[in-house]
Amino acid sequence: TTKAIILVGGPSKGTRFRPLSLDVPKLLFPIAGKPMIYHHIEACSKVENMKEIILIGFFQESVLSKFISETSKQLNVAIRYVNEEKVLGTAGGLYHFRDIILEGNPSEIFVLHSDICCAFPLNDLLAFHKQFGRACTIMGTEIEAKYANQYGCLVRDEKTAQLLHYAEKPETFVSNLINCGVYCFSPEFFDIIGKTMIDLKTSGQNITTDYPEITRKGFDVERLRLEQDIFVPLAGTGFISVYPYVGFWRQIKNAGSSVYCQELYLNHFAKTKPEVLKKGSNIIGNVIIDPTASVDPSATIGPDVYIGPNVKIGKGVRVIHSIILDQTEIKDHACIIYSIIGWQSLIGVWARIEGIPNYTPFLYSQDKRRGVTIFGAGAQANGEIIVSNCIVMPHKQLDRNYNNEIIL
Ligand code: GDD
Ligand code: GTP
């Protein structure tokens, strides 16, 4: 059997998702019509003999319990949440909960970051992991060289697939093959993590200024980074393989990036499950419309749009590259482009709400002049105004034009 772990982190890490994360934790934000980590769980549920999916993080369990029970039923897979009492790092939680993870003797364990989108080719990753027989396989993908230093960079032996060198967010160019945040472990990798941790502790090396509090108090055995503390020393020692993934992949770091990730998922669905996409003479490209939404037939929707439950879309409305969330109303002839309209919002007649697309999605240290316009929950735009490239806090009412502003 296999198991899967999703590293979900905690609420403090969702700050770049404001104002939307005020209403829903980042990992549950809807992308292509489903909560962000639903896509991960769905992929895991398709692996043969998937025994259970364990979410590790530092959320209050109540925030996740409804999602967990519904998704578990829907996809017919066991899901549970385990809580880190304190922040343990990307490897600390895995190691701390190793008994729970290894319970029932799974033969392989997938580990996934929550804040990424990709096709999650878990069956291929598993076959590759078994073929090369090392304790850990990292999924890598090639991106444009100039963005690679924002990620973990991998150097791989072409013939043997061995990881030769690992550099986390290096200052100078190392490789354009990057760590996707998707791994496959054999159970013995947990022993290797334990041993590496002890080596690290005794040698005192590698404890950098990243964690000044740890350096001061001496090494905190619990807080452990999978990247710097485990992959860096283990590169070139024969324990790790790199699986070269070819396909779409993105990080989901801020709310705006969910519009681009949605586009990638919708393209993927057009090939893998076209039945979820809406068809119609007023639909352009890939669109998902919740069955409870009402869309006037004279409105034109798409490409790359999601319209949520109980949304009302009036006559002559145009929606392009956007996410419209539950119970929002878009009045007649309004136009929404590259925007996310939060729950229960109201957009007046002939209003134009637009983002300015950023075509360098691997670069999140953004060009401030370009971005997706975001309306927090319950925000309202009066009729006939233009809101361009703005972030609107929940429950604001806008009665004039705005451009390039954060509206508090
Ligand atoms: N449970 C738990 N506990 N989860 C955590 C913790 C923690 O202490 N810290 C981070 N995570 C989770 C986050 O929720 C996210 O899903 C994932 O681990 C990685 O988050 P970051 O620590 O913010 O790292 P990053 O995104 O800047 O970079 C990592 O991911 C890239 C791919 O997206 C690195 O692994 C890079 O090498 C990699 O390229
Ligand atoms: P160019 O950018 O010069 O090509 O102009 P455009 O208006 O064709 O492009 P834009 O990206 O502004 O809009 C894309 C589409 O949205 C248009 O072709 C219209 O169908 C529609 N649209 C644009 N503005 C409005 C508006 O204010 N109201 C409505 N109902 N639809 C609009």
For residue 347, which ligand has an atom nearest its CA? 2
Query: Strands 50-57 and 79-83: what pairing?
Result: parallel
Place of tokens 């043969």: 48
Distance CA 328, CA 23 (A): 15
Distance CA 283, CA 302 (A): 6
Confidence of residue 262 (pLDDT cuts 50, 70, 90): very high
Collapsed DSSP state (helix, strand, coil) of residue 312 = strand
Number of H helices, E strands in the chain: 9, 32
In contact, 201 and 219? CB cutoff 8 Å: yes
Quickly list DSSP for 15-64: GGGTTGGGTS-GGG-EETTEETTHHHHHHHHTSTTEEEEEEEESS-HHHH
Is the link from the previous residue into 19 a cis peptide, with omega within 30 of 0?
yes
DSSP H or E stretch at residue 192: helix 188-203
Residue 217 known to be catalytic: no
pLDDT of 215: 40
Percent of the chain with pLDDT over 70: 91
Q: Which of 304, 335, 336, 386 to mutate to test the pocket of ligand 2 (most atoms within 8 A of CB)?
A: 335
Burial of 82 (0-12, 13-18, 19+ CB in 10 A): middle
Neighbouring C-alpha atoms within 13 Å toward the C-beta of 58: 16
Give the residue-averaged pLDDT of 95-101. 95
Confidence of residue 247 (pLDDT cuts 50, 70, 90): very high
In contact, 338 and 391? CB cutoff 8 Å: no
- pTM of the full structure: 0.89
Among 26, 34, 66, 169, the active-site one is 169
Q: What value, to the nearest 5°, has the Cα angle with vertex 70 and ends 64 and 305? A: 85
CA 341–ligand 2 middle distance (angstroms) = 18
Give the residue-averaged pLDDT of 151-162. 97
Query: Strands 294-295 and 2-9: what pairing?
Result: unpaired
The answer, yes or no, to whether residue 20 has pLDDT greater than 80, is no
Q: What is the ipTM of this complex?
A: 0.81
Q: What value, to the nearest 5°, has the Cα angle with vertex 206 and ends 90 and 166? A: 65
pLDDT of 186: 98
Q: Which two tokens stand for residue 405?
A: 């502003």
In contact, 306 and 324? CB cutoff 8 Å: yes
pLDDT of 209: 38
A 10 A CB-CB count for 147 gives 15
> Is 303 a pocket residue for ligand 2 (Cβ < 6 Å)?
no
Within 6 A (CB) of ligand 1 lie 7-9, 13, 56-57, 84, 87-90, 93, 113-116, 151-152, 168, 178-181, 227, 251
Query: Strands 163-168 and 152-156: what pairing?
Result: antiparallel
19 vs 115, residue with greater confidence: 115
pLDDT of 86: 83
Task: Taking each helix axis as running N to C, give the angle between helix 61-75 and helix 38-45, from 0 to 180 degrees, rounded to the nearest 10.
Answer: 40
Q: Could you identify the atom of ligand 2 that is nearest to the CA of residue 337? A: 11
Give per-residue pLDDT as tens, 187-233.
Answer: 999 999 998 888 877 776 554 434 444 443 444 555 789 999 999 99
Place of tokens 């697939």: 161
Distance CA 371, CA 405 (A): 11
Give per-residue pLDDT as tens, 44-97.
Answer: 999 999 999 999 999 888 889 999 999 999 999 999 999 998 888 899 999 999
Give per-residue pLDDT as tens, 317-347.
Answer: 999 999 999 999 999 999 999 999 999 999 9
pLDDT of 216: 37
pLDDT of 207: 46
The answer, yes or no, to whether residue 366 has pLDDT greater than 60, is no
pLDDT of 362: 64
pLDDT of 199: 81
Distance CA 108, CA 121 (A): 15
Distance CA 399, CA 406 (A): 15
End-to-end distance of the chain based on CA atoms, in angstroms?
50
Distance CA 247, CA 122 (A): 13
Q: Could you identify the atom of ligand 1 that is nearest to the CA of residue 10? A: 14
Q: Could you identify the atom of ligand 1 that is nearest to the CA of residue 7? A: 4
Give the residue-averaged pLDDT of 354-383. 81
Least confident stretch, 100-109, 125-134, 262-271, 356-365: 356-365
Distance CA 328, CA 331 (A): 10
